[in-house]
Amino acid sequence: MSEDRLSGVTFLTVAEVASIMRVSKMTVYRMVHAGELPAVRVGRSFRVPKEAVDAYLDSSYVETA
């Protein structure tokens, strides 16, 4: 993996993702383990790319009547 590829990536903690999405940390962990949200494991914790959170939220919008 090249260093250039990751140089502009902003990683968020599970707590930060939960705060942005207004859900519990457990919900974020479930999404990561289910493969709905990509994450990188750092030691015993996960880091989620901010772009992945933005993409997930963009794809989750629901049109109502």
pLDDT for res 7? 76
pLDDT for res 3? 61
Helices 50-59 and 14-21 meet at what angle, rounded to 10? 30
CB within 8 Å of 18: residues ≥ 6 apart: 24, 25, 27, 28
DSSP, res 50: H
User: pTM of the predicted model, to two decimals?
Assistant: 0.83
Q: pLDDT tens for the chain, 65 residues: list them.
A: 556 666 788 999 999 999 999 999 999 999 999 999 999 999 999 999 999 999 999 998 888 87
pLDDT for res 6? 67
* 47 lies in some domain: yes
* 4 lies in some domain: no
* 49 lies in some domain: yes
Which structural domain range is residue 23 located in? Answer: 9-59
